[in-house]
A and B are shown apart, each in its own frame.
Chain A
Amino acid sequence: MARVHNWHLGREMAFPYEAAYPERQFAFVFNINRCIACQSCTMACKSTWTFSKGQEHMWWANVETKPYGGYPMFWDAKILQLLDRANPDGTSWTGPLTDDRRGPWGRFSGRTIFEAERMLTPDSARVLGYLPTDEEWNSPNIYEDNPVGTRGVPGEYHKTGEALPEHKTWFFYLARICNHCQYPACLAACPRKAIYKRPEDGIVLIDQAECRGYRKCVEACPYKKSMYRGNTRVSEKCIACYPRVEGKDPESKGVPLETRCMTACIGQIRMQGLVKLNPDGTWAEDRQHPLYYLVHVAKVALPLYPQFGTEPNGYYIPPRWVPRPYLRQMFGPGVDQAIERYENPDRELLAVLQLFRRSNRMIFGYEVVEGPKTYEGTLRGRKVTLFNDTVIAYGRDGKELFRTTVEEPIHVRGSKHANSI
């Protein structure tokens, strides 16, 4: 095993291959506070990439209801349980939150999925994981937001949503795609080296010609975003809509576009981009990049289950109403600071949040132009001061993509065409 630096964990860790980092890295931020589980992202992906025979069970993009829902069922509870067994003495985060980009959330002490040697079977296994059953793949988010239909009447939902099974507790919607990890467990586990990470954008792909369907990647990916296709006998996964990212989509005219799931998001929870990396794999300083700002400056966006050790490139603004112990387990020790800052946003954060989903073009930089004060008062006892600042988004070539304001005027579509696109 080689030693690599995992900046999410603030330490070196074991990984089967020497470190090699892309020039830029595909990354995204999802604001969970805004997700309403409309599943537009899910269907945008499904209708683009996984609509064929043999792909019926595949949802490269999905939205699940936490804490009970999941796709495949109980994926995170199961891998967390395995990690618990691999860490009989427990795990911990030590050290303060810092501005050090090599370890902003302190240091994680505990075994990652790459470091649980004694749990691995057979001896040739490289990553701690499990293979979900067919039943677990079958029904995404089963028993959560799926209304229960009338027995014996297929294809019909209840007429009213009150018939939904309802948990008497908090819940939130977790939107997920492949995290295109810096240290992909799927890649680490593949005995044929059929999985690779692209040097130009860090997108993780399965070479369909090399794959023989051993399903080691399915077993190893802790997020369960590598899936086996029975009729072709090879595995498939999210490809990050790479023709769009490359600017080769006919619509893009050479300009990088965000992925289908991002651009379909009506809740405006998603932003995706390509961040610059340092030679050591940490994010290079890029102060005016919105993703860099959200992760490293405002520090409101956090990785999903950093303790797995794969250094995922999906970051989440945590839901504000969920009990903190649950969130700390899911997003690490930065949760309290992230929520505090998101609840009390400064002028820049309010402006950057306006960049979400104003364009399907990928944003490479932004600028905020200060505007007039529009409100001063309180909200739930907190002091609030608002300014109608303008935020300008720039593309890869440095040219303006669009500009908008914090108090952007809203347009309401007439009822005649309310659902037309």
Chain B
Amino acid sequence: MPFADPDPTDPTVLVGVALPTGADATRDMAWVFAEEFARMGFDVPHILRLFRSPFYAGAHQALRRLGEPEIVAMIEECVQVFGHHGRGD
């Protein structure tokens, strides 16, 4: 693992390179994570825990940008559709 921040003068490291992106990319990404985990049978608290975890970088980034209320609303809508998995334990 690296022990220093990326060096912006290092020509082999792409830092600060802008890529085209839709304004809603973060929102779309959050929806996909919520839907995929709801399809797998996760409930609302489980999915929210993923979004809150800083080590799950994509979801956590979305939570910080969009705010927890919006993320919770997304998760609840997805679980309402896909959350009919019973508990087997």
Q: Which residues of A contact B (CB under 8 A)?
A: 33-34, 36, 67-68, 73-74, 77, 135-136, 139, 142-143, 145-154, 157, 160-162, 164-166, 169-172, 268, 319-323, 325-326, 353, 374-375, 377, 379-380, 384, 386, 388, 407-412
Contact = CB atoms under 8 A, between A and B. Distances in A.
B61 A166 contact: yes
Interface string B16-55: 0111111001101101100110011110000000000111
Interface of B: 1-6, 12-15, 17-22, 25-26, 28-29, 31-32, 35-36, 39-42, 53-58, 60-61, 77-78, 80-82, 84-89
Contacts of B20: 323, 325-326
A77 B15 CA distance: 14
Contacts of A150: 3
Contacts of A68: 14, 17
Given A319-B32, A374-B84, A379-B78, A408 B41 contact: yes
Given A143-B6, A323-B22, A323-B25, A409 B54 contact: no
Contacts of A33: 32, 36
A161 B12 contact: no
Contact of B21 (A160, A169, A388): A169
B3 A321 contact: no
A150 B31 CA distance: 34
A146 B2 contact: yes
A375 B84 contact: yes
Contacts of B53: 161
B44 to A, nearest CB: 14
A319 B31 CA distance: 12
Nearest to B55: A161
A68 to B, nearest CB: 6
B28 A377 contact: no
A281 to B, nearest CB: 34
Which of B6, B18, B58: most chain A Cβ within 10 A?
Answer: B58
A325 B25 CA distance: 13
B36 A386 contact: no
A374 B15 CA distance: 48
A412 B84 CA distance: 16
Contacts of A145: 57
Contacts of A152: 3
7 contacts: A136-B12, A143-B2, A170-B19, A170-B26, A268-B40, A375-B82, A409-B41
A410 B81 contact: no
A164 B57 contact: yes
A375 B89 CA distance: 24
A170 B12 contact: no
B80 to A, nearest CB: 7
B86 to A, nearest CB: 4
B54 A162 contact: yes
Contacts of A147: 1
A388 B14 contact: no
Nearest to B41: A410
A384 B82 CA distance: 10
Which of B6, B14, B25: most chain A Cβ within 10 A?
Answer: B14
Contacts of A139: 1-2
Sorted from nearest, which 7 A-B pairs have the closest CB atoms?
A161-B54, A409-B88, A321-B28, A410-B41, A321-B29, A170-B25, A409-B86
Contacts of B77: 379-380
Given A146-B1, A147-B1, A408 B56 contact: no
A323 B86 CA distance: 36
Given A169-B19, A321-B32, A322-B25, 5 more contacts: A148-B3, A150-B3, A375-B81, A379-B81, A409-B85
A412 B17 CA distance: 42
Nearest to B62: A321
A321 B36 contact: no
A164 B77 CA distance: 30
B30 to A, nearest CB: 8
A165 B6 contact: yes
Nearest to B46: A412
A143 B89 contact: no
